[in-house]
Amino acid sequence: MRGVEVVEQRAKSIINAVPGMPFSWSINPYRGCYHQCRFCYARRTHRYLEEDGVERWGSRIFVKVNAPTVVRSELARNRAIDQVAIGTATDPYQPLEGTYRVTRGILEALRDYRVSSGIITRSPLVVRDIDVLQSLAAVAGVSVSISVATMDADLAREIEPTVAPPAQRMRAVRMLAEAGIAVNVALAPILPQLTDRADSIDAVVRAAQEAGATRVWHNALNLHDITRDAFFGYLRERRPELIASYATLYKGTYAPQAVSREIDARVASARERFPARALERIPTRAVVQLSLI
């Protein structure tokens, strides 16, 4: 991880209430993300630390080293906490997790307090914690979402520069499924004119089915403030021929409704032809969590 500055932090609080979402609480063990996805919507959170969310998002990363301890004390104080999503604004299994094991410590705390949880990540490192996930699934329920925007390894390297190749991520889906963990594939974000063709969508949904995913969910690219700057920077660098059409499509944050509807229809068609595995094969307590994220 050359060129990355790691800043260890002692957080005062970790679990955040999240109104109006399918989950009620969120935990982000890191700030910043080594994966540096060009479309990352979480880049704006660097601004809260007066950091540059375009240039420094992947090169100045904050590690909340005391997170497991703080989670335990917050759970002890508030027994109503449930439906916790881990990794809504960072990747909880980015490479630093291999050393720091902060996410693992948080999962152990959630298991000990029997709190149902969901994880979202692009990293196969999540399989390291299958043992904790199994015990959390047994006492409270857990689901893991692994994001795969495309099965095209070259394109993936272009848009998610330091994430493991899509095939490796699908191997992680398979390992989680075989371990009895409810595992979703997040086909996200879908990028107009880059990953929105029917064959590209089909490839991800088919691979998810073959790997044993319990569900595929998706969303189309949103471009707001810093994400817009980062994504147009990528287009200038790698896809200048798309700048004009993206400027037309994204006059605001969202793609036009007609584009989103077409994407929804393609995903629906793929899901129909390559349905996810039957829920009956998933342990009951985990099934409860399928819609957590």
- Which is closer to ligand SF4, CB of 40 or CB of 109? 40
For tokens 């439906």, what's the residue? 83
Q: How near is the Cβ of 39 to ligand SF4 at its closest, in Å? A: 7
CA distances from 48 to 43, 52, 56, 272 (A): 10, 10, 13, 42
Site for ligand SF4 in 224-263 (CB under 6 A): none
- Which is closer to ligand SF4, CB of 34 or CB of 113? 34
- Which is closer to ligand SF4, CB of 53 or CB of 192? 53
- Which is closer to ligand SF4, CB of 75 or CB of 159? 159
Give the largest Cα separation in the chain, rounded: 55
Q: What are phi and psi of 289, to 5 degrees?
A: -90, 0
DSSP annotation of 288:
T
> Would you count residue 215 as binding ligand SF4 (CB under 6 A)?
no
Which of 114, 24, 6 minimizes the C-alpha distance to 64? 6
Q: How near is the Cβ of 142 to ligand SF4 at its closest, in Å? A: 19
Segment interacting with ligand SF4 (CB under 6 A) among 8-16, 33-41, 62-70, 214-222: 33-41
End-to-end CA distance of the chain: 30
Can you tell me which of 40, 63, 172, 205 binds ligand SF4, judged by CB under 6 A? 40
d(Cα 36, Cα 57) in Å, to the nearest integer?
7
The radius of gyration of the chain's CA atoms, rounded to the nearest angstrom, is 18
Identify the burial level of 131 via C-beta atoms within 10 angstroms of its C-beta, where 0-12 means exposed, 13-18 middle and 19 or more buried: exposed
Q: 33: Cβ–Cβ under 8 A, 6 or more apart, which residues?
A: 40, 42, 57, 58, 61, 90, 91, 94
Site residue total, ligand SF4 (CB under 6 A): 9
Q: 68: Cβ–Cβ under 8 A, 6 or more apart, which residues?
A: 102, 105, 106, 108, 109
> Would you count residue 33 as binding ligand SF4 (CB under 6 A)?
yes
Site for ligand SF4 in 120-179 (CB under 6 A): 122
> Would you count residue 64 as binding ligand SF4 (CB under 6 A)?
no
Segment interacting with ligand SF4 (CB under 6 A) among 14-22, 30-38, 199-207, 255-263: 30-38
> Would you count residue 35 as binding ligand SF4 (CB under 6 A)?
yes
Q: How near is the Cβ of 34 to ligand SF4 at its closest, in Å? A: 7
Print the binding letters for residues 65-104 with ligand SF4: x by CB under 6 A, - otherwise: -------------------------xx-------------
- Which is closer to ligand SF4, CB of 122 or CB of 228? 122
CB count within 10 Å of CB 152 equals: 17
Where along the sequence are the contacts to ligand SF4 (CB under 6 A)?
A: 33, 35-37, 40, 42, 90-91, 122
